[in-house]
Structure 1
């Protein structure tokens, strides 16, 4: 079974309650679809998995995932700028300094197909409050024009592993 084939499906093996089977859990637009597929009812572990997979595929066909563009425009509860994906940010190393020495930015961010996020920041000192904000808006708007495909909640969200230095001090990459 490939990793992609088990999206939304998890194994349940509880000896105490003698529950063995597969649990399908898929959420679409605030609605949760959940159903258990018992090994005993379906004639074994493999058959119950195939039944769970068929149910999961049926739910996904009837309720397709958000497009990347739709997902990128969901307003979150903690949004304070009024614009999805645009926020005002103080550089962490200057946060404890007096206000005149703090470095502030307007930051635009958007998801990439592999689950990572791209961020671009615009200095308030360099462009002014309104200029930096408008540049962040434009950067996000331009990026979303090129955003295609479906949102994949199972996409990799980890940063790639960095390769270290060799004993001689040179980069370990070939």
Structure 2
């Protein structure tokens, strides 16, 4: 039966502590979608601000370092709250930025009407971040069918990006 020395226990404990500190530092240095660090010395405000936008509404909450027990604990609380809110709202959890604000006359994000060339133009961003574009002719298909085809293409490309 081997007896562990006090020195070995101390070494193991210090190694575990060092590993835990490395993990904490890594999480603190990573970027987290919808979470921003607030450090305002003049107002003595330190913590993480979470802002989740979905279907036109914004849900936000501030996680103070003082109330949560430190910088790392407040970040973990902020991450947990963000994930919980997204699940409650039905928002898909992803670190990719998904743009859903439409400034288009068609009412569909990524589909625009080109009056000059008589076509609907479809644009998207693939899973590697590269932009893609195609168009559907109104002369060839008619206005309603061309719009329907353009919307279908956009929907397929968006689904491909979210799956990848």
TM range (shorter): 0.5 to 0.7
**Which structure has the higher relative contact order (CA within 8 Å, separation 6+)?**
1
- Greater percentage in helix: 2
Q: Deviations over 1:101-144 (max 9, x none)?
A: xxx3524214234355422146xxxx7x5327555753542453
Instruction: Find runs of 4+ consecutive structure 1 residues off by over 6 angstroms.
Output: none
Structure with bigger gyration radius: 2
In the superposition, relative to structure 1, how do residues 24 and 105 fare at CA in structure 2: closer, same or farther (>3 Å)?
Answer: same
> Which consecutive unaligned segments of at least 5 residues does structure 1 have?
91-103, 152-174
Deviation at 1:22, TM superposition (A): 0.2
Partner of 1:148: 159
Corresponding position: 1:58 with 2:84: yes
Deviation at 1:44, TM superposition (A): 0.5
In the superposition, relative to structure 1, how do residues 150 and 8 fare at CA in structure 2: closer, same or farther (>3 Å)?
Answer: farther
Say how many residue pairs are matched.
125
Cα RMSD (Å)? 3.4
TM-score (norm 2): 0.59
> Which consecutive unaligned segments of at least 5 residues does structure 2 have?
1-26, 93-97
TM-score (norm 1): 0.56
